[in-house]
Amino acid sequence: MNVLSDTWSWLTTATHWSGPDGIWNRLGEHLFLTVVCLLISCLIALPVALVLGHLGKGGALAVNISNIGRAVPTFAVLVLLLLTPVGTYGQWPTIIALVLFAVPPLLTNAYVGMREVDRDVVRAARGMGMTGRQMLWSVELPLALPLILTGVRIAAVQLVATATLAALAGGGGLGRIITAGFNLASTPQVVAGAILVAVFALLVESLFEAGQRMAPGRGREAA
Amino acid sequence: MPPWPGWNGRVTAPPDDCLARNEWICGAYLSSRREILMDAALQHLQLTALAVLIGLALAVPLALAARRWRWAAGPVLGLTTILYTIPSLAMFSLLLPVYGLSAALVVTGLVLYSLTLLVRNILAGLRAVPEETRQAARGMGYGPLRLLLAVELPLVLPAAMAGLRIATVSAVSLVTVGAIVGYGGLGNLIYSGMNTYFKAQVLTASVLCVVIAVAADLLLLGAQRLLTPWTRRQT
């Protein structure tokens, strides 16, 4: 109980919210990292997955990349990048690591979504004289959308988690509150930071889940 | 006046090996730090194995309960999903007031993560057992326990083993985060290597992590093949 009340008083202290180490600033950093890296990862992964899925090629790669992403420790990649020449360029090691771990779920889910489109529907579209481009945009993509959005949701949650870990390797974001708490041996601060991170992650998850429900067309049925 | 006591006026050249040059790949590191590496890898394996085994011991009854009572399925799946969404660093930090800086903290955090993967897979496997199979077993006079052990368990094994493999590989990678409380196995070496800018140590420990993950995955795959010989015949 003592820890809870100490954590509460840490969270309700106004000075902990303002300034460069304050919660608002760390939250902003976390949000910025998550959004920017999600956009970059989508721009990298989705076109590749859509084209590969449309052509039906590279399936082994698209599916196995998720397993590889799971086996490689995020923390190790963050530290390795920090020690390479990239590490001297401010936030870049963090951004690269974040993108590396957000790409696999995006790629795998979008690829599987494209391949799971009913082959009869695709054949019918071809029979109607659609070109490959038309089939991709107006048949396969809408039907694959539920799984693509699932991939985006998993990637977003993964990004929040990776951005938290980045604090261990000197990056910004809410994780900094936790690592600073460990350095100060202040359990209330560690727990307060953890609560902020957990709430942020759950908010992101539920936001994307709501987005998925509101997605047009088949999204609702398949979800 | 000598710059330091015992200075003899000569400068000995620093050793010019890969450790002194701080290279990424360094054989001298491997030979001189073998014991540290072995200890860290051993701790890594212990933490992973303990967490996955406890997770499995908890996941089986939870999955059975979620199937037995329909109302239990929603809360069990919902709760494990929430736990899985919480980032690892935050999860370990939330457990700090309960366990302090201890190995139990890391193990508990990992158990909570593996629970999600295991419960989901075991429950999916249980639900995929055809009702006809169950009825046929009942018709042959199988009691509930014998039905579970002799009919359902073998049918659930492939799905359960798939979950176990994912849970184990994830646990191997997540143990590294335990470095924040000093119980991260190879993660400890990565953490200290980061602080001292020791490239060989960081790379060696990272590679070992991946090797352990892949080895554990292959081991479980082999176990699965041995346990379910009937699935091999079709492929």
Instruction: Decide if pLDDT at A61 tops 90.
Output: no
Instruction: Decide if pLDDT at A118 tops 50.
Output: yes
Please give the pLDDT value at position A35. Answer: 95
A214-223, B21-30, B176-185: range with lowest mean pLDDT: A214-223
At residue B6 the predicted structure's pLDDT band, cuts being 50, 70 and 90, is low
In this complex, is the C-beta atom of A3 within 8 Å of any C-beta atom belonging to chain B? yes
**B122-164 confidence digits (pLDDT tens):** 999 999 999 999 999 999 999 888 999 989 999 999 999 999 9
Cβ separation A71–B217 shorter than 8 A: yes
Pair of tokens at residue B99:
């366990």
At residue B229 the predicted structure's pLDDT band, cuts being 50, 70 and 90, is confident
Instruction: Decide if pLDDT at B16 tops 80.
Output: no
Please give the pLDDT value at position B3. Answer: 67
Task: Tell me phi and psi for residue B29, to 5 degrees.
Answer: -65, -45
3-state SS class at B125 = helix
If you average pLDDT over residues A194-201, what whole number do you get? 94
At residue A113 the predicted structure's pLDDT band, cuts being 50, 70 and 90, is very high
Instruction: Decide if pLDDT at A5 tops 80.
Output: yes
Q: In angstroms, what separates the C-alpha of A26 from chain B's closest C-alpha?
A: 15
Please give the pLDDT value at position B233. Answer: 65
3-state SS class at B129 = coil
**B52-68 confidence digits (pLDDT tens):** 999 999 999 999 999 88
Contact residues for A61 (Cβ-Cβ < 8 A; gap 6+): A52
Task: Determine the Cα–Cα distance for residues B116 and B82; give it in Å rounded to an integer.
Answer: 9
CATH of the domain at A18: 1.10.3720.10
Residue B179: closest CA among B50, B43, B46: B43
Q: In angstroms, what separates the C-alpha of A143 from chain B's closest C-alpha?
A: 25
Chain A residue nearest residue B214, CA to CA? A71
> In total, how many domains does chain A have?
1
Domains, chain B: 27-228 (1.10.3720.10)
Please give the pLDDT value at position A223. Answer: 39
Task: Determine the Cα–Cα distance for residues A118 and A132; give it in Å rounded to an integer.
Answer: 16
Please give the pLDDT value at position B34. Answer: 87
What does each C-alpha distance from A196 to A185, B133, B167, B180 come to in angstroms?
Answer: 18, 48, 26, 18
**A74-89 confidence digits (pLDDT tens):** 999 999 999 888 877 8
Instruction: Decide if pLDDT at A222 tops 80.
Output: no
Per the model's pLDDT, the better-predicted residue between A216 and A175 turns out to be A175
Percentage of chain B modeled with pLDDT above 70: 92
Please give the pLDDT value at position A221. Answer: 46
Average pLDDT, chain B: 89
Residue B230: closest CA among B163, B161, B154, B160: B154
Please give the pLDDT value at position B1. Answer: 60
If you average pLDDT over residues A17-27, what whole number do you get? 87
Task: Determine the Cα–Cα distance for residues B90 and A197; give it in Å rounded to an integer.
Answer: 6
Please give the pLDDT value at position B40. Answer: 94
Please give the pLDDT value at position B13. Answer: 65
Pair of tokens at residue A153:
């949701």
Instruction: Decide if pLDDT at B7 tops 70.
Output: no
Whole domain around residue A42: which residue ranges? 2-222
Cβ separation B202–A193 shorter than 8 A: no
Cβ separation A73–B203 shorter than 8 A: no
Average pLDDT, chain A: 88
Specify whether the CB–CB gap between B208 and B197 falls below 8 A: no
Instruction: Decide if pLDDT at A218 tops 60.
Output: no
> Which of chain A's residues have a Cβ under 8 Å away from the Cβ of B181?
182
Instruction: Return the number of CB contacts < 8 Å for A and B.
Output: 127
In this complex, is the C-beta atom of B91 within 8 Å of any C-beta atom belonging to chain A? yes
If you average pLDDT over residues A217-222, what whole number do you get? 47
In this complex, is the C-beta atom of A165 within 8 Å of any C-beta atom belonging to chain B? yes
Residue A51 buriedness (CB in 10 A; 0-12 / 13-18 / 19+): middle
Interface test with B, best of A7, A78, A79 (most B CBs within 10 A): A79
Q: In angstroms, what separates the C-alpha of B25 from chain A's closest C-alpha?
A: 13
Interface of B with A in 203-222 (CB under 8 A): 203, 205-206, 209-210, 213-214, 217
Please give the pLDDT value at position B14. Answer: 64
Percentage of chain A modeled with pLDDT above 70: 96
At residue A16 the predicted structure's pLDDT band, cuts being 50, 70 and 90, is confident
